[in-house]
């Protein structure tokens, strides 16, 4: 393996991490508030609101029912509008975010649903406002489960970023497709796959480690 | 002026089209400094009633006055402020699992915007009061049930409330721990003059610490008054059942069952006379002692006995008269 290939693989790793974390971060900027909104507006939430809940619920379900590869193609005009081009790693972040945000909203909603209603009741009895309950009770009590959700989402987006390689998305997936599929250079493809596996393992282990360590519920 | 005044409180829940009346025209006043018990069977509406006192549950009808202020008239913000003056503890403790003991106790102060340093000072004071100074760095998962409830009590007291509401606060604890939590509550009442409302389904909790009690049955207030009076001479079916009815139904003495049973209560002064022996001698008839118990009612020993009477209505009536003449209160124990 020559220096050129190694250089290419290093750039692939960089692009893959850029796409994964870029989309996870922007995804959370959109998905976290949306998840909180779902929880709050739910029937048994802090401020039930049927209309808001139904609308969010509907949009999320629609987006989540479209397979990622199709979303990738469907969003090409939109991506071009936002980024100026429809290929490359920055452009790939757009469909990744659109795919991730509704998923993240659901994961966040379910983490918040797991918070003991008794604790919320106790906070209300102390005179806490809804904002205080969200930021000082819900997000704190649910942090282990939120961290787990974050780890799972990151792993998922790592896979999706590789999938976007099939349409010129950049990163390791792109390399695997170009060399493995079009040029029959199986060795390079195998190396990219191994790299993806290693990155996935690191993300999973670090994420699990942090959430376990931050959990005070266990002795 | 009563510190808590509940007038004609009705609460209805709508569940899938039909209406459940959890509370039906309850009126109650609780005086400042009281330890007030509210007792009833499961589903009677006790939790709904106590949650109405701090307006976690808004009444369908009727009013709740705290220190003369109608909670209905308050804005959201004022209501939250009022709630911070009413502490509350729960059956399941409801501590923040991800925060340690001292941060839990500081939590209401944090919400009220008290400076962290001042909050810590206050929290340490309270942890000393509940005897948990050495646990301030522990997490709730490392504590026993009794310790968790002590933390919850310290937390509820951190904002210096005038009222402490306890919803089944000892129901998840064993009898010994229950005793220690109840004496802590009594100490708090005596030391700081905080009005305490205790919700429970156990008569023993009421007799142990409460001065007054209200009995709730199917959403209605059926009896109210001094604990001693109601314990000695319960009027309502619910009160009788809560005091002894249920237990006697499980008595294994079926072969001795004569049908008519009475419950008598001894006070300290009547305990010296051998009333039962005298009655048996005088009437020349046997009496079955089905149950005998001594309880602590507000610090006074009160004896309770359930007697099975011999056959014959005339004989039964004269036995009852004889016991009444000796100064004891007699209640018929009815079974359905
Ligand atoms: N949020 C609610 N929605 C619908 N029904 C409710 C609600 N809260 C209480 N109820 C109903 O109101 C009645 C009284 O309930 P409540 O919880 O006050 O009883 P309780 O005396 O505290 O019982 P327990 O001893 O089991 O705690 C019950 O029939 C219950 O099903
Ligand atoms: Mg209850």
Residue A13's pLDDT is 95
Residue B336's pLDDT is 41
Residue B268's pLDDT is 67
Could B83 and A125 be called an inter-chain contact, meaning their C-beta atoms sit closer than 8 Å? yes
Question: What percentage of chain B has pLDDT greater than the value 70?
Answer: 93
Q: What is the ipTM of this complex?
A: 0.88
Low-confidence ranges of chain A (pLDDT < 70): 1, 219
Q: Where are the domains of chain B?
A: 2-232, 248-333
In angstroms, the CA B106 to CA B88 distance is 15
> Of A18-22, A82-86, B90-94, B101-105, which range is least confident?
A82-86
Q: Which residues of chain A have a CB within 8 Å of the CB of B56?
A: 121, 124-125
Residue B188's pLDDT is 96
Contact B50, B210 (CB under 8 A): no
Residue B269's pLDDT is 63
Domain span at residue A40 reads 3-218
CA angle at A132 for the pair A129 and A135, rounded to the nearest 5°: 150
Return the number of other C-beta atoms located less than 10 Å from residue B159's C-beta: 19
The DSSP-derived string for B312-329 is -HHHHHHHHHHHHHTT-E
In this prediction, residue B245 has a pLDDT band, given cuts at 50, 70 and 90, of low
Smallest Cβ–Cβ distance between A217 and the set B83, B97, B165 belongs to B97
In this prediction, residue B251 has a pLDDT band, given cuts at 50, 70 and 90, of very low
This model's pTM is above 0.90: no
What CATH code is carried by the domain that includes residue A174? Answer: 1.10.3720.10
In this predicted model, what pLDDT tens digit does every residue of B2-57 receive, in sequence order? 999 999 999 999 988 899 999 999 999 999 999 999 999 999 999 999 999 999 99
Among A114, A108, A137, smallest CA distance to A24 is for A108
Architecture of domain B2-232: 3-Layer(aba) Sandwich (3.40)
* Main-chain dihedrals φ then ψ at residue A193, nearest 5 degrees: -65, -45
State the total domains in chain A. Answer: 1
In this predicted model, what pLDDT tens digit does every residue of A126-137 receive, in sequence order? 999 999 999 999
Contact B280, B287 (CB under 8 A): yes
Which helix (H) or strand (E) segment holds residue B227: the answer is helix B227-232
In this prediction, residue B257 has a pLDDT band, given cuts at 50, 70 and 90, of low
Could B94 and A116 be called an inter-chain contact, meaning their C-beta atoms sit closer than 8 Å? yes
Could B97 and A216 be called an inter-chain contact, meaning their C-beta atoms sit closer than 8 Å? yes
Given CATH 3.30.1300.10, say whether it is the number of domain B248-333: no
In this predicted model, what pLDDT tens digit does every residue of A45-87 receive, in sequence order? 999 999 999 999 999 999 999 999 899 999 999 999 999 888 8
In this prediction, residue B307 has a pLDDT band, given cuts at 50, 70 and 90, of confident
Q: Which residues of chain A have a CB within 8 Å of the CB of B97?
A: 116, 119, 141, 216-217
| DSSP 3-state of B121 | helix
Q: Give the closest-approach CA distance of B195 to chain A in angstroms.
A: 16
In angstroms, the CA A185 to CA A178 distance is 9
Which residues are placed with Cβ below 5 angstroms of ligand 2, an ion?
B 47
């Amino acid at each position: 393996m020559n220096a050129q290939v190694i250089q290419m693989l290093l750039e692939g790793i960089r692009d893959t991490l850029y796409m994964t974390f870029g989309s996870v971060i922007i995804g959370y900027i959109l998905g976290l508030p949306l998840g909180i909104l779902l929880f709050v507006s739910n029937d048994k939430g802090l401020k039930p609101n049927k209309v808001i809940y139904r609308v969010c619920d509907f949009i999320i379900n629609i987006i989540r029912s479209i397979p990622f590869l199709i979303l990738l193609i469907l969003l090409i005009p939109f991506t071009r509008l936002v980024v100026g081009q429809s290929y490359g790693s920055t452009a790939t972040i757009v469909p990744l975010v659109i795919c991730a945000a509704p998923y993240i909203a659901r994961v966040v909603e379910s983490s918040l649903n797991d918070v003991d209603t008794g604790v919320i009741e106790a906070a209300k009895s102390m005179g806490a406002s809804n904002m205080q309950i969200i930021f000082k009770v819900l997000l704190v009590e649910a942090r282990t489960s939120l961290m787990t959700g974050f780890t799972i989402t990151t792993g998922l987006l790592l896979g999706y970023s590789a999938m976007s390689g099939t349409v010129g998305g950049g990163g390791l997936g792109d390399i695997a497709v170009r060399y493995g599929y079009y040029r029959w250079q199986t060795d390079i493809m195998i190396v990219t796959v191994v790299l993806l596996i290693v990155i996935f393992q690191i993300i999973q282990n670090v994420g699990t480690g942090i959430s376990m360590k931050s959990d005070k519920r266990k002795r | 002026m009563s510190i808590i005044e509940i007038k004609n409180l009705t609460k209805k829940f709508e569940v899938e089209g039909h209406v459940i009346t959890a509370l039906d025209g309850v009126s109650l006043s609780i005086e400042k400094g009281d330890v007030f018990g509210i007792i009833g069977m499961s589903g009677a509406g006790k939790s709904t009633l106590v949650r109405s006192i701090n307006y976690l549950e808004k009444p369908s009808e009727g009013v709740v006055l705290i220190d003369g202020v109608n909670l209905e008239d308050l804005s959201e913000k004022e209501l939250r402020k009022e709630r911070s003056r009413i502490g509350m503890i729960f059956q399941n403790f409801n501590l923040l699992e991800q925060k340690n003991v001292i941060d839990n106790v500081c939590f209401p102060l944090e919400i009220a915007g008290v400076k962290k340093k001042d909050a810590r000072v206050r929290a340490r004071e309270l942890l000393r009061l509940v005897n948990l100074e050495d646990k301030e760095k522990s997490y709730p998962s490392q504590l026993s049930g009794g310790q968790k409830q002590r933390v919850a009590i310290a937390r509820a007291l951190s904002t210096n409330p005038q009222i402490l509401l306890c919803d089944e606060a000892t129901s998840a604890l064993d009898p010994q721990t229950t005793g220690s939590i109840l004496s802590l509550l009594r100490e708090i009442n005596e030391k700081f003059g905080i009005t305490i409302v205790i919700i429970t389904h156990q008569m023993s909790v009421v007799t142990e610490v409460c001065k007054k009690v209200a009995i709730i049955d199917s959403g209605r207030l059926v009896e109210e008054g001094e604990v001693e009076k109601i314990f000695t001479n319960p009027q309502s079916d619910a009160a009788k059942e809560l005091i002894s009815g249920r237990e006697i139904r499980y008595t294994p003495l079926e072969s001795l069952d004569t049908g008519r049973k009475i419950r008598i209560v001894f006070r300290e002064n009547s305990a010296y006379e051998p009333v039962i022996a005298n009655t048996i001698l005088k009437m020349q008839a046997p009496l079955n002692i089905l149950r005998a118990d001594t309880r602590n009612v507000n610090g006074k020993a009160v004896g309770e006995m359930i007697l099975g009477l011999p056959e014959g209505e005339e004989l039964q009536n004269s036995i009852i008269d004889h016991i009444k003449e000796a100064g004891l209160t007699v209640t018929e124990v009815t079974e359905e």
